[in-house]
Structure 1
């Protein structure tokens, strides 16, 4: 019996699979067992065609391919090459060692990529650590982005056979690729970012308070809601947040690329933060993940380490808004289905835009509001207090004035974000201020007696909950970091309180 290592995806995690083969006497047949999907069963025809068109004789034996462990559903066309190698080299003494093999076969023996190979290898690298993989040459640059793995690439089935017969495998080895983005070294650790500002804050005229809130939100990864009349620049500001978000680790960039691959989007490794903006008619399953048997990834999981933007917030179904409370509070969500239970991380910046009333003119000084009191009350009631409690910054925006001018660019704002980011990393935080756990708040958000008195008074006057108090502390910590202040001062508390919902 011969064995080649491969893997299969279960939700977002890779499970190691041993591809086993036996060749016994009997009527010639070719079967694949081990809960193989129809895509794997179809590989029998692809393997036969690839072998026969490359002058290999198909063994006149009873061939049994087993995918072990046999009690786990397997899916994906990346098992093609493993199966073909076992059949082609059945009568030779070849050691497959600890190589993990991934490739789909074309009918002529050419090796092809599929959407699951990159997520599989990335997940394996996290789980196993150092490993050696054989992949199609067409995706060597993408796989070589993953650190701490040895990547070998071949073009077709013939080259793959030559690779395992060769004693000089290093000539097939791929050099480690560098991320195509800028880097910054903070406290001995490398982070990646992008200097291109396709959407710039210099296009936003006026709205100083809103831009200040956007700067705070980006610097500390704080959830934010903008409220204002139609056309005042709510969505305009939120869409520019993506370009001033803090740098990312290589793990975060690779995680984004993994999610892109699963979402059938070609990953680009450009260091840009992910930005997801589902429409308010989206279903609950599309937001949180769904599937009748196996759980499928949703928008909040795809937004991890990035921005999730809800435009026209009150128009989202109340069931969706209330279901957002868990991922916003715990920064993770558990999706349970018949055959699987999957935990997704949800450390995203939740950005929202909304009008002050159904017609949008409640705050306008030039247009008349056409809504009655009941309509306005119903509109506001769609956002419950527990939901609002999970928002760090509430911003009411003014109407646009023709005299307003641009006063700051994205480049200038990003410089301030970088400075605040350095402060947080050097302080030893594993998360940015907005995602600090309760035990970390008491460690990093210390107050003197004056600040404590101010916060206690605000708690009484504004009826702040414990969660709201923690939100104020985290926002004040970010404001202090922007001002390069080691300690939180009273002016930082006052500014943080000014962004609370009242």
Structure 2
């Protein structure tokens, strides 16, 4: 007897519905065809044990399972449940026409319990698009999938619950999630705040500019100056995620298996903080079975690279293309997977190995050649892609001991939201641009117009600092952001001057 059930496969951050065809006929062996990987092939032992554990029998006949379309590789253990239900239906142990109305996914344990899967949200989105009535999946993934409306999300913990549901003996209540409540409860759920930072007003100003325009930042300063403390608070002043951004970010984390059972939606912008020993594949994504890397997990949020020169140069160089295109393509012999990677990069570094080069009070013990060798670990093309170069100086005792409370993240965020609204209106006809940092070179020429004084000022800076064409564009973008913060329609010479001040690595002739 031939029976069809339905599963789903995730490629990149999109899902594809998989037909699970089970045919039982005369014979003795089991076969799984349709490009299954080892995890799928090993499912027989799990399925047989689970079926017997709930009091049913495993047919001792020839069983052929076809996972269609057969030219797409099937990976992972999520097909266990759909195959098990197909076997029980094909052997006549359960009878129900409703089976074809549901996507059925879950990994089976030997005792019949069901383990969580990856990619529940993109699977739910595709199931709705394909017209399915609902999804039967592990309870641990139910809240995540329930973000999709007009779809019955049925969470289960054991195989016998699924069998009982199709036999009409068990009622499975649909899981419901209120998106508005999720945002209201967690949108300001940050453990850090700019109110904790004493002094460093110039650095706060630079980070506010970066947040307003979505610009990349590098902080250079001695140990203990507060670089890491400041960087960790950048995400607290970024505008709240929109529904579209939240869904896209959630899909990436879902595919990567970074969601817990209590979470339903990413409501705050991600902040990723990889260690400097990370590999290039872990940073940008890939592997034998491609997975999102740190730059994709930071999509719509912040990627913080502390101790930047300690990262392997090859790791840093693979970021150059994603910083420009805001996506990463992972190519293999038979397929290509594309992950979004629109993130704000914030990096921190010491000015030299000992950390005290140009320190106002402590003497640097590194020779000039050592300093140059240390700084050359950061290539010129990578520095060109960083808009703001900010020098961080130590905080004086009188600032640390001052009892006055600093401005909190909420107040700064309101100003950032105001500047972003100006940019949203400016780019309302361009679906791929949302902030000044994302402008193309053509848009920069059209939008960032200068008067004669501003043009002469920028020309002098270009000649004195020997800046590249990319650095020229970056200065104009930052100047446009500063003008937006002041609600100025035109870029004033003061805005250009402040933007030029944030090219300190060019000014000190620190060359890669």
- Using the size of structure 2 for normalisation, the TM-score is 0.86
Q: Counterpart in 2 of 1:411?
A: 410
Q: Counterpart in 1 of 2:366?
A: 371
Q: Counterpart in 1 of 2:81?
A: 81
> How far, CA to CA, are the matches of 1:125 and 1:440 in structure 2?
39
- CA separation of 1:122 and 1:424: change in aligned 2, threshold 3 A: farther
> How far, CA to CA, are the matches of 1:13 and 1:433 in structure 2?
28
> How far, CA to CA, are the matches of 1:439 and 1:258 in structure 2?
32
Q: Counterpart in 1 of 2:34?
A: 34
- CA separation of 1:431 and 1:394: change in aligned 2, threshold 3 A: same
**1:302-451 alignment runs, 5 A limit:** 302-404=297-399, 405=402, 407-427=406-426, 428=428, 430-448=433-451, 450-451=453-454
**1:277-292 alignment runs, 5 A limit:** 277-291=273-287
Q: Counterpart in 1 of 2:510?
A: none
Tell me the SS of whatever aligns to 2:4: strand
- CA separation of 1:489 and 1:139: change in aligned 2, threshold 3 A: same
> How far, CA to CA, are the matches of 2:168 and 2:446 in structure 1?
57
Deviations 1:101-134 (A, max 9, x none): 11223334333322x2425515636975887322
> How far, CA to CA, are the matches of 1:58 and 1:193 in structure 2?
47
What's the offset of the Cα at 1:290?
4.2
What's the offset of the Cα at 1:146?
3.3
> How far, CA to CA, are the matches of 2:241 and 2:170 in structure 1?
37
> How far, CA to CA, are the matches of 1:225 and 1:356 in structure 2?
11
- CA separation of 1:273 and 1:168: change in aligned 2, threshold 3 A: same
State the number of aligned residues: 490
What's the offset of the Cα at 1:457?
4.1
Instruction: Answer whether contact 1:12 1:119 (CA < 8 A) is retained.
Output: no
Deviations 1:65-102 (A, max 9, x none): 11112232212222122112222222346253442211
Unpaired stretches in structure 2, ≥5 consecutive residues: 508-512
Q: Determine which of 444, 462, 467 is the counterpart of 1:464.
A: 467
What's the offset of the Cα at 1:234?
1.0
- CA separation of 1:154 and 1:68: change in aligned 2, threshold 3 A: same
Match status 1:475 vs 2:484: no
Q: Counterpart in 2 of 1:3?
A: 4
> How far, CA to CA, are the matches of 1:36 and 1:322 in structure 2?
35
- CA separation of 1:139 and 1:392: change in aligned 2, threshold 3 A: same
Instruction: Answer whether contact 1:179 1:270 (CA < 8 A) is retained.
Output: no
Deviations 1:403-425 (A, max 9, x none): 22564222221121222222222
- CA separation of 1:388 and 1:126: change in aligned 2, threshold 3 A: farther
Instruction: Answer whether contact 2:14 2:123 (CA < 8 A) is retained.
Output: no
Instruction: Answer whether contact 1:130 1:148 (CA < 8 A) is retained.
Output: no
Deviations 1:223-282 (A, max 9, x none): 001111211111110011121222212333234334434444335335222122222222
Q: Counterpart in 1 of 2:148?
A: 146
Q: Counterpart in 2 of 1:276?
A: 272
- CA separation of 1:424 and 1:164: change in aligned 2, threshold 3 A: farther
- CA separation of 1:86 and 1:119: change in aligned 2, threshold 3 A: same
Q: Counterpart in 2 of 1:492?
A: 495
Deviations 1:278-321 (A, max 9, x none): 22222233223343x44343222222222111111122222223
Q: Counterpart in 2 of 1:50?
A: 50
Deviations 1:358-408 (A, max 9, x none): 211122222111111111221222223222111100111222211225642
Unpaired stretches in structure 1, ≥5 consecutive residues: 184-191
Q: Determine which of 295, 300, 305 is the counterpart of 1:300.
A: 295
- CA separation of 1:29 and 1:233: change in aligned 2, threshold 3 A: same
> How far, CA to CA, are the matches of 1:127 and 1:432 in structure 2?
31
> How far, CA to CA, are the matches of 1:40 and 1:2 in structure 2?
19
> How far, CA to CA, are the matches of 1:282 and 1:233 in structure 2?
23
Match status 1:228 vs 2:221: yes
Instruction: Answer whether contact 2:295 2:341 (CA < 8 A) is retained.
Output: yes
Tell me which moved more, 261-270 or 32-41: 261-270
What's the offset of the Cα at 1:432?
1.9
> How far, CA to CA, are the matches of 1:196 and 1:484 in structure 2?
30
Q: Counterpart in 2 of 1:189?
A: none
> How far, CA to CA, are the matches of 1:372 and 1:476 in structure 2?
36
- Using the size of structure 1 for normalisation, the TM-score is 0.88
Tell me which moved more, 78-87 or 230-239: 78-87
- CA separation of 1:48 and 1:466: change in aligned 2, threshold 3 A: same
Q: Determine which of 200, 208, 232 is the counterpart of 1:207.
A: 200
> How far, CA to CA, are the matches of 1:179 and 1:50 in structure 2?
39
- CA separation of 1:209 and 1:145: change in aligned 2, threshold 3 A: same
> How far, CA to CA, are the matches of 1:282 and 1:497 in structure 2?
33
